[in-house]
Amino acid sequence: MQQPNNGAPLLEVKGLKTGFNIDGEIYHAVDDVSFKVNPRQIVGIVGESGCGKSVMSMSVMKLLPIGIGEITDGEVVFQGNNIEHLTETEMNKIRGKDISMIFQEPMTALNPVFTIGFQLDEVLLNHQNISKQRARKISIELLTQVGISRPDSIVDEYPHQLSGGMRQRVMIAMAIACQPKLLIADEPTTALDVTVQAQILELLKTIQEKNDMSVILITHDLGVVAEMCDEVIVMYAGKIVERTDVDTLFYNPKHPYTKLLMESIPKLHEEVETLGSIEGIVPSLKNMPKTGCRFADRCPAAMPECKTITPVLAEVEDGHDVSCLLYKSSRPVEEVK
């Protein structure tokens, strides 16, 4: 398979549209999304449930439910290869080896009837030409690397015998077993308590630096983004509404949705009686507005034209893209004339 040129992004998503067939009609959960992930970069994808974050990661992994979800337009290019042109056998070689994934609830990803060691060995044996003994040795080393004490005995235990934090560490061990170039972490700490969350994030960051890995971190938690990410993409109702580097996003958020997400983060040095929350819910796929801004029904800054003019994602400042009619460059060309 083709390898990337120097300086080329590791992953490039171009105009991606992912649709779901509901009662014979196609509804797009991801609608015209473009972004890049460079080598060794951590890109955060933020938004509430139903914003299309996870569907996007399943599209990148080519793991959409067959016959229900499909990429209807655009491209996902990994290491210079359009994944649409890869066969299932070729994709299987990439998954787990070059791109791997960790999920919010490791119990759904770990098989309850096999030991931790068996499952780790399997990942290694599937992608590397090594003996079972060698796989077991590496499995124990991986468990040590992710901070599991007693790795020699944990290999013989079953997932239900471990705490949530330990299971997530095992998932990370499985995900990094083949030293992937890209790790997709989908809400990796949401199911864990706060202390364990911090430990897992620190572990991910250490491994990312040590292995020179790129990470797509999917989360609803801007606090996690602040800790971890270089670049941030804010998604709402299947579209990117803001994209910039992490410092700019926190010091100069521009989209009203991002600003509301910011207000929901607890601040260390400020005493607030209640945290901000965003009224209303993300529109369902069937109720997505056909024209206008998809955030209009919840936006405190909405103007009458927000219901009729659809904003476009455009650069409003150097390296800072926003999709909101409050900014002239986000207005469609025919509106600006």
Number of residues that bind ligand SF4 (CB under 6 A): 13
Does 278 sit near ligand SF4 (CB under 6 A)? no
For 89, the token pair is 């056998």
DSSP 276: -
- Determine the interface stretch with ligand SF4 among 61-69, 151-159, 179-187, 289-297 (rule: CB under 6 A): 289-297
Does 106 sit near ligand SF4 (CB under 6 A)? no
- Determine the interface stretch with ligand SF4 among 25-33, 55-63, 125-133, 323-331 (rule: CB under 6 A): 323-331
State the nearest-atom distance from the C-beta of 248 to ligand SF4, in Å: 18
Does 295 sit near ligand SF4 (CB under 6 A)? yes
CB 258, CB 234: distance < 8 Å:
yes
By beta-carbon proximity to ligand SF4, the closer residue of 138 and 234 is: 234
State the nearest-atom distance from the C-beta of 316 to ligand SF4, in Å: 12
The upper half-sphere exposure of residue 305, i.e. CA atoms within 13 Å in the direction of its Cβ, equals 9
- Kindly state the helix (H) or strand (E) to which residue 76 belongs, with its residue range: strand 69-78
Does 253 sit near ligand SF4 (CB under 6 A)? no
Residues 6+ apart with CB under 8 A from 3: 79, 80
Q: Which of 70, 326, 329, 335 binds ligand SF4 (CB under 6 A)?
A: 326
- Determine the interface stretch with ligand SF4 among 46-54, 98-106, 278-286, 299-307 (rule: CB under 6 A): 299-307
Does 261 sit near ligand SF4 (CB under 6 A)? no
Q: Which of 302, 314, 315, 329 binds ligand SF4 (CB under 6 A)?
A: 302
3-class DSSP assignment, residue 92 = helix
Task: Please state the length of the chain.
Answer: 337
Does 178 sit near ligand SF4 (CB under 6 A)? no
Does 310 sit near ligand SF4 (CB under 6 A)? no
Does 71 sit near ligand SF4 (CB under 6 A)? no
**Residue 53 CA to its chain's centroid (Å):** 6
Does 324 sit near ligand SF4 (CB under 6 A)? yes
Distance from C-alpha of 323 to C-alpha of 316, rounded to nearest angstrom: 9
Strands, E assignment, 79-225: 81-82, 99-102, 182-186, 214-219
Neighbours of 111 (CB within 10 A): 12
Q: Which of 311, 316, 321, 331 binds ligand SF4 (CB under 6 A)?
A: 311
User: Cα–Cα distances in Å, from 70 out to 24, 62, 89?
Assistant: 13, 9, 18
By beta-carbon proximity to ligand SF4, the closer residue of 185 and 325 is: 325
Does 308 sit near ligand SF4 (CB under 6 A)? no
State the nearest-atom distance from the C-beta of 295 to ligand SF4, in Å: 5
Q: Which of 155, 306, 312, 313 binds ligand SF4 (CB under 6 A)?
A: 306
The structure tokens 């491994």 sit at 207
Residues 6+ apart with CB under 8 A from 101: 57, 61, 95, 175, 183, 184, 185, 186
Q: Which residues bind ligand SF4 (CB under 6 A)?
A: 256, 293, 295-296, 299, 301-303, 306, 311, 324-326
